[in-house]
Structure 1
Amino acid sequence: MKKLSLLYLLIALIFSCTAPPKKESPPNIIFILADDLGYGDLKAFHPNSKISTPHLDRLAAEGMIFTDAHTTSAVCTPSRYALLTGRYNWRTSLKEGVLTGESQALIPKERTTVASMLKSKEYETAFIGKWHLGMDWGLKVDSIEQVGKGYAADFSLVDFSKPVKNGPTVLGFDYSYALPASLDMAPYVYVENDQVTQIPNRETIDEGEYSWWRKGPTSPDFIHEEVTPNFFNRTIQYIQSQSGQEKPFFLYLALPSPHTPILPKEEWQGKSGLLPYADFVMMIDDYIGQVNRALAEAGLEENTLLIFSSDNGCAPAAGFTQLVEMGHLPSAQFRGHKADIYEGGHRVPFIAKWPKQIQAGARSEHTISLVDFFATAAELSGYEVGENEGEDSYSLLPLLLGNTPSGEFREATVFHSVNGTFAIRKGDWKLILAPGSGGWSYPRPNDPVSKDLPEVQLYNLASDPGETTNLEAEQTEKVEELKSLLAKYIRDGRSTPGTPQANDPFEGEWKQVWFLEK
Structure 2
Amino acid sequence: MKLPRLLLPLFRALGLAAFAAASAGAAKVAPPNIVYILADDMGRGDISAYNPHSAWPTPHIDSLARGGMQFADAHSSSAVCTPSRYSILTGRYAWRSRLKERVAFGYSAPIIEPGRLTVASLLKTHGYTTAMVGKWHLGFDWARSRPSNAPAQLDASDEEPSQRAPENNPAFSRWVDYTKPFRQGPVDDGFDSFFGISASLDMFPYVWLRNDRVVAPPTHEIAGSKLPAMWRAGPIADDFAHIDVLPRITTEAVDFLQRQDGRRPFFLYFALTAPHTPIIPAQDFAGRTHTTPYGDFCVQVDQAVGEVLRVLKERHLEENTLVIFAADNGCSPAANLPQLRTFHHDPQMGLRGAKADIYEGGHRIPFIVRWPGRVAANSHNDALVCQIDFMATCAELLDTPLPANAAEDSVSLLPILTGKSAQVRETLVNHSVNGSFALRQGPWKLCLCPDSGGWSDPKPGKAPPGSPPFQLFNLDQDSAETTNLYAEHPEIVRRLGELLKQQILRGRTTPGPVEQNTGGDDWPQLAWMKQFQ
Q: Confirm or deny a common fold (TM above 0.5).
A: yes
Q: Which residue of 1 aligns with 2:153?
A: none
Cα pair distance change 1:295/1:516, threshold 3 Å: farther
Q: Which residue of 2 aligns with 1:21?
A: 22
Are the aligned partners of 2:254 and 2:311 in contact in 1 as well (CA < 8 Å)?
Answer: yes
Shift of 1:10: 5.4
Q: Which residue of 1 aligns with 2:42?
A: 37
Are the aligned partners of 1:487 and 1:516 in contact in 2 as well (CA < 8 Å)?
Answer: no
Amino acid of the structure 1 residue aligned with 2:459: R
Cα pair distance change 1:118/1:147, threshold 3 Å: farther
1:157 aligns with 2:175: yes
Q: Which residue of 2 aligns with 1:83?
A: 88
Are the aligned partners of 2:405 and 2:515 in contact in 1 as well (CA < 8 Å)?
Answer: yes
Q: Which residue of 2 aligns with 1:217?
A: 235
Q: Which residue of 2 aligns with 1:181?
A: 199
Question: Aligned partners of 1:58, 1:283: CA distance in 2, in Å?
Answer: 16
Q: Which residue of 1 aligns with 2:455?
A: 440
Amino acid of the structure 1 residue aligned with 2:145: K
Amino acid of the structure 2 residue aligned with 1:464: D
Question: Aligned partners of 2:248, 2:129: CA distance in 1, in Å?
Answer: 21
Question: Aligned partners of 1:213, 1:266: CA distance in 2, in Å?
Answer: 19
Q: Which residue of 2 aligns with 1:339?
A: 356
Deviations 1:263-303 (A, max 9, x none): 11111111112110110000110121121110011111001
Question: Aligned partners of 1:148, 1:119: CA distance in 2, in Å?
Answer: 37
Are the aligned partners of 1:186 and 1:216 in contact in 2 as well (CA < 8 Å)?
Answer: yes
SS in 2 for 1:503: coil
State the TM-score, normalizing by the size of structure 1: 0.96
Amino acid of the structure 2 residue aligned with 1:311: D
1:261 aligns with 2:266: no
**Match 2:102 to one of 97, 105, 113:** 97
Are the aligned partners of 1:334 and 1:344 in contact in 2 as well (CA < 8 Å)?
Answer: yes
Q: Which residue of 1 aligns with 2:476?
A: 462
Q: Which residue of 2 aligns with 1:12?
A: 12
Cα pair distance change 1:3/1:78, threshold 3 Å: closer
Are the aligned partners of 1:93 and 1:506 in contact in 2 as well (CA < 8 Å)?
Answer: no
Q: What percentage of aligned pairs have identical amino acids?
A: 46
Q: Which residue of 2 aligns with 1:62?
A: 67
Amino acid of the structure 2 residue aligned with 1:259: H
Shift of 1:14: 2.7
**Match 1:452 to one of 445, 459, 466:** 466
Gaps of 5+ in 2: 147-157
Matched ranges for 1:135-284 at <5 A? 135-141=140-146, 143-145=160-162, 148-154=165-171, 155-242=173-260, 244-284=261-301
Shift of 1:11: 3.5
Shift of 1:485: 0.6
1:396 aligns with 2:410: no
Q: Which residue of 1 aligns with 2:374?
A: 357
Amino acid of the structure 2 residue aligned with 1:471: L
State the TM-score, normalizing by the size of structure 2: 0.93
Matched ranges for 1:305-320 at <5 A? 305-320=322-337
1:418 aligns with 2:436: no
**Match 2:506 to one of 450, 473, 492:** 492
Number of paired residues?
513
Cα pair distance change 1:514/1:7, threshold 3 Å: closer
Question: Aligned partners of 2:42, 2:441: CA distance in 1, in Å?
Answer: 25
**Match 2:338 to one of 321, 329, 333:** 321
Deviations 1:317-366 (A, max 9, x none): 11122112331101001001000000000000000011131111111101
Question: Aligned partners of 2:49, 2:241: CA distance in 1, in Å?
Answer: 33
Are the aligned partners of 1:34 and 1:310 in contact in 2 as well (CA < 8 Å)?
Answer: yes
Question: Aligned partners of 1:59, 1:372: CA distance in 2, in Å?
Answer: 20
Over 6 Å off, 4+ runs: 2-7
